Chains A and B, each alone.
Chain A
Amino acid sequence: MGSNMAENHPVGFQWVVEARERGAQVIHVDPRFTRTSAMATRWVGIRAGSDIAFLGGIVNYVIEHERWFHDYVVEYTNAPVIVNEEFADTEDLDGLFSGWDPRSGKYDSSSWQYAGMDVHGAAGRREKGFAPKGEQSGHGGHGSALSQGEPPEEDPSLTHPRCVFQILRRHFARYTPEFVADACGCSVEQFVAVAEALCENSGRERTSAFVYSVGWTQHSVGVQYIRTAAIVQLLLGNVGRPGGGVMALRGHASIQGSTDIPTLYNILPGYLTMPHVGAYDDLASYVEANRSPAGWWGNFGAYAVSLLKASWGEKATPENDFCFGYLPRIDEDNSIYRCVLDMLDGKVEGFVVVGENPAVGSAHAKLHRLALAKLRWLVVRDLVEIESASFWKDGPEIETGELRTEEIPTEVFFLPASSHVEKEGSFTNTQRLLQWHERAVEPKGDCRSELWFYYHLGRIVREKLAARAEERDRPVLDLTWDYPTHGEHEEPSAEAVLAEISGFDAEGNAISGYRELRDDGSTSCGCWIYSGVFAGGENRAARRTPHWEQDSYAAPEWAWAWPANRRLLYNRASADPDGRPWSERKRYVWWDEEARRWTGTDVPDFDEDKPPDYRPSRRDRGPDAIAGNHPFVMQADGRGWIYVPHGLEDGPLPTHYEPHESPLPNALYPQRANPRRQRFERPENPSNPSGAEPGAGVYPFVVTTYRLTEHHTAGGMSRTVPYLTELQPELFVEVHPELAELRGLHHGGWATIVTSRAAIEARVLVTDRIKPLRVQGRRVHQVGLPYHWGTRGLTVGGSANDLAAIVLDPNVHIQEVKAFTCDIRAGRRPRGPALVELVDRLRARALAEDDGRTAAAQEPAGERAT
């Protein structure tokens, strides 16, 4: 679901096809019939933006038909835990959870806690509003208010009315097959067949897996999409076991790596919290607030101090808090969308863009281009002159007259970059494998790697600052920045950087892994989850033992997986509470009673000598506080979280909300969309009216964006490649024959797609691959648009992202571009200023239909406040 794996991850999909050939069922639930659907055993077409209704229906089906994996659920998940009596569900409060503050538009999550917890002990931190969230909460464990590993109150019979299991049952009780069919636009039979197939293929003998991509993440409630799948998988016992899991197929070669070693504002390497303004007085309070009493986040201090030592080396001492004060402080949101709006307001002077193309790839791309035109200076590094570098002379706004080249103050530096074959380094793939690529040829001309650019930039900046250093320059000047270089371009050594990431002990020897890290300054490590990739001084990411020379199908001698070369996380769950495989068929990691240690196909994700019957005392902390029968070692309670008491902005359980823009009201609640979704109410970022709001009929169709096999994201790596542009030469829009007739569209002809933000044109592809659906008694049409095109390259065309508004998931600030609304009309778009007039005309019509009533008045208080 939420993925078109056959087209966007084709080589990974070979394994799916192979499994199908061996008898596995492959089910594709998606708004479009794609090549993935064609290769699946079964395809179910649903409305874009309705996946939580579908998955919630599965939760309800599993519970109502008593199909959950009982022993797994009771022992390995938080289903038995009793929740605070102050907690109230969306079913009680018309679509809001308890703790909603209409003035701030946010939740206070203290009522979501487990019962009997010292919530007030942790509240001091939360009062400042900086509880770790999103990526900051890592894998959900640290920062939890648990005072020790075991939740205070549990009911293993799962019958207590306030236990997680019963709360879950009530929460999803209305997600019946009939509701699912009505909300998603599929049939009851189609839904039941999927739910039944999942139940039949789960348990001791069998496992099922979910695969998703940005079809799930790019929603205003995206995190909760994935949460719902996690609940299904925990109920069915499909996590930590071979053939199970909820697998994210990520879209860039090292997007996983750039999250682990984050070029992201809110985390430091290894998912350590970036400190907020006013949140911490010193290192001790930072560690205390982020350390978990139990589990591997209990060693937060060792990870944080080792990171500070990697940055500031000998300058970082116990006396100066290891230079903790050198870290800049963040606000609640310094994400790119917030930042681009500040850019538009002239608050950002300089912008460095490396290997990304926001002028095409970001939601409301037009707004990003307008923001680029407000900068003082811009650096773009790429292989080709992308739209983000050339907006000032050939962007769409030059054509419409909204921007004039000679009036744009931005100083632009375009620096050509090296490709992957002109430099060496590691990518982290979607299954956490660090894979090294070697340099094949020297870069030509001025082409250089980012490693070269940042190393020498840092060197030059340090030289300039050293001349008349001020106090604020100490963090830069004290930085360890002495990497060996080689060759005529003085290229820094990527292996030296990887060795720093992996870590050293006090003697400068490579450490073997994160267990060796200490909080006393005796170890340094640039990213604790990557520690050991350079163990013994060997670059393990560069291992290339052929798969046919390896005994295990886990192939541990090919590259290196974080952490500790484990290929399957939480794999202790592949054994039963007593440490025996759940079944011979699904044997993976188990307790060897004779050897008194865990063993198996993979590196065990558990203390190797902790027996299944180990029980911690109340004094135990960190990993020692996790019992021998609790596999989820990153969680403070060692359980898989069906219910999330801490760390999410928009609720402890997923709830079906309509997308920010949708032609329909919410069939469950008067609260139409996610109340906590992040909106930016500005004239430059208007929204289409939705649901029952007047004017919604002006934009009556659901639009979803997607990728093609032959192109890559914003096109900089594919619209420039001759073969690929030949294979996919032009932007097109997928419409059903019925919609084509309704709007007078002809196959192969032109259509113009319009929203409140922009209008673009595309060739019409009339196809029954994208079906109209019957939803809430109405016929709903969907429109599909690939988003790869822009104004430059061997093939050019409109950018689908111009059409979307900036509206974000509140946990991770990801934009909703997989479900919004539009109008579509026959013919090409107007040229020049007339294009803007068309967009304005439709928007004026929508506003006129408003008839004096504001859209906000149609929605409950919560909607207005955000």
Chain B
Amino acid sequence: MSLRSSLGSWPLVRQLREGDPLGLGRSVRSRRSEALRARIDEADAVVGSICPYCAVGCGQLVYVKGGEVTQIEGDPRSPISRGRLCPKGAASRGYVTSPLREYRVKYRRPYGTDWEELPLEQAMETIADRIVETRARTWQETDAGGDATRRTLGIASLGGATLDNEENYLIKKLLTALGVVQIENQARI
């Protein structure tokens, strides 16, 4: 490498020569950085999504490769967010791939001191049994004055503000038909 080209590669010289006094443009590139590729360049698919945190509803683009989420970025098309995300939205790949995420059903028996394994199908059957039993045991057809109540106060449900509209709809529809009235969510807090 000649002295001239060596000097010419100095960042300060390049900044001055290339009219980039703040060092934010071409002058900070190196041979290594020229060869770098963004993670999103290699994605198999890009899917439109919405940020799961607050209710501003920023647009997200989810980049997928090999069935895994490789990156989540802001969607520039959104008239709400124009491609921007806050620290939480920008970290939401870390949310969907958190090291603390659980992938298996966990079961704690009454008075148990630790979790046990339980197949999902069996868990669903057992939960359905609990609902049917408790509902039958605590069913209230009328109140003390004889007015119709057609309900159970033995079962309660909590949560909804982090879920989809379609999910809230099924929760309300099913539980109301079962006579569960204590249905609540974060709007109350």
Contacts and interface: CB of A to CB of B under 8 A. Distances in A.
B10 interface: no
A481 B174 CA distance: 9
B144 to A, nearest CB: 10
B16 interface: no
Interface residues of A, number: 161
B129 interface: yes
Contact of B138 (A349, A476, A527, A727): A349
A384 B108 contact: no
B56 A354 contact: no
A88 interface: no
A461 B113 contact: no
A9 interface: yes
Contact of A814 (B123, B160, B188): B188
Contacts of B176: 268, 311, 327-328, 475
Contact of B155 (A253, A258, A348, A362): A348
B162 A356 contact: yes
A249 B139 CA distance: 39
Given A253-B54, A328-B180, A718-B88, 20 more contacts: A253-B52, A262-B185, A264-B188, A277-B147, A328-B176, A334-B181, A336-B158, A383-B98, A384-B100, A419-B95, A421-B62, A421-B72, A435-B59, A437-B60, A458-B174, A476-B177, A546-B76, A558-B80, A717-B95, A720-B100
A429 B52 CA distance: 10
B158 A472 contact: no
Interface stretch (A160-168, A409-417, A577-585, A775-783): A409-417
A724 B157 contact: no
Interface string B146-189: 01111101111111111111111111111011111111111111
Contacts of B169: 261, 269, 497, 500-501, 526-527
Contacts of B162: 252-254, 355-356, 717
A352 B156 contact: yes
Interface string B90-107: 011011101111111111
B49 interface: yes
B45 interface: yes
Contacts of B185: 255, 258, 262-264, 356
B55 A249 contact: yes
Given A263-B183, A265-B183, A425 B167 contact: yes
Given A414-B105, A427-B57, A494-B164, A354 B171 contact: yes
A383 B124 contact: no
Contact of B159 (A11, A355, A411): A355
Among B103, B153, B159, max chain A CB count under 10 A is at: B159
9 contacts: A249-B55, A265-B182, A327-B150, A328-B179, A334-B153, A349-B155, A411-B109, A438-B62, A454-B171
Contact of B170 (A262, A497, A558): A497
B57 A269 contact: no
A218 B187 CA distance: 11
B106 A414 contact: yes
Contacts of B96: 419-422
Contacts of B172: 261-263, 268-269
Contact of B127 (A384, A413, A494): A413
B106 to A, nearest CB: 4
Interface string A318-341: 000000011111100011110100
B189 A363 contact: yes
Contact of A464 (B129, B147, B159): B129
A555 B166 CA distance: 24
Given A450-B171, A479-B174, A354 B54 contact: no
Contact of A393 (B58, B114, B153): B114
Among B134, B176, B177, max chain A CB count under 10 A is at: B177
A447 B103 contact: yes
A410 B167 contact: no
A524 interface: no
B38 interface: no
A842 to B, nearest CB: 26
A94 interface: no
B95 A720 contact: yes
Contacts of B98: 383-384, 720-722
A259 B159 contact: no
Interface stretch (B1-9, B18-26, B63-71): B63-71
A794 interface: yes
A721 B177 CA distance: 38
Contact of A254 (B56, B164, B182): B164
B182 A383 contact: no
Nearest to B118: A413
Given A354-B157, A429-B55, A461-B131, A329 B69 contact: no
A420 B147 contact: no
A169 B168 CA distance: 44
A251 B161 CA distance: 9
A423 interface: yes
Contact of A348 (B76, B153, B186): B153
A278 B145 contact: yes
A440 interface: yes
A718 B87 CA distance: 11
Contacts, number: 479
Contacts of B148: 277, 325, 329
Nearest to A722: B94
Contacts of A400: none
Given A263-B172, A356-B161, A423-B164, A438 B84 contact: no
B141 to A, nearest CB: 7
B165 A254 contact: yes
Leading 7 A-B pairs by shortest Cβ distance: A425-B164, A429-B57, A445-B103, A263-B160, A547-B79, A328-B151, A356-B159
Contacts of B85: 11
A674 interface: no
Interface in A530-584: 530, 542, 544-547, 550, 553, 555, 558
A266 to B, nearest CB: 9
Given A354-B171, A414-B105, A721-B98, A253 B161 contact: yes
A444 interface: yes
A712 interface: yes
A356 B158 contact: yes
A353 B153 contact: no
A14 B92 CA distance: 20
Contacts of A405: 113
B52 to A, nearest CB: 4
Contact of B186 (A258, A325, A329, A720): A258
A45 interface: no
A277 B111 contact: no
A455 interface: yes
Nearest to B103: A445
Given A253-B161, A383-B102, A349 B154 contact: yes
Nearest to A477: B177
B183 A264 contact: yes
Given A264-B185, A445-B103, A449-B167, A419 B52 contact: yes
Contacts of B49: 420-421, 437-438, 440
Given A413-B105, A814-B188, A498 B166 contact: yes
Interface string A723-759: 1100100000000000000000000000000000000
Nearest to B76: A546
B119 to A, nearest CB: 8
B128 A460 contact: yes
B125 interface: yes
B120 A479 contact: no
B137 interface: yes
B15 interface: no
A151 interface: no
A613 to B, nearest CB: 36
B77 interface: yes
Interface in A376-394: 376-377, 379, 381-385, 389, 392-393
A358 interface: yes
Nearest to B108: A412
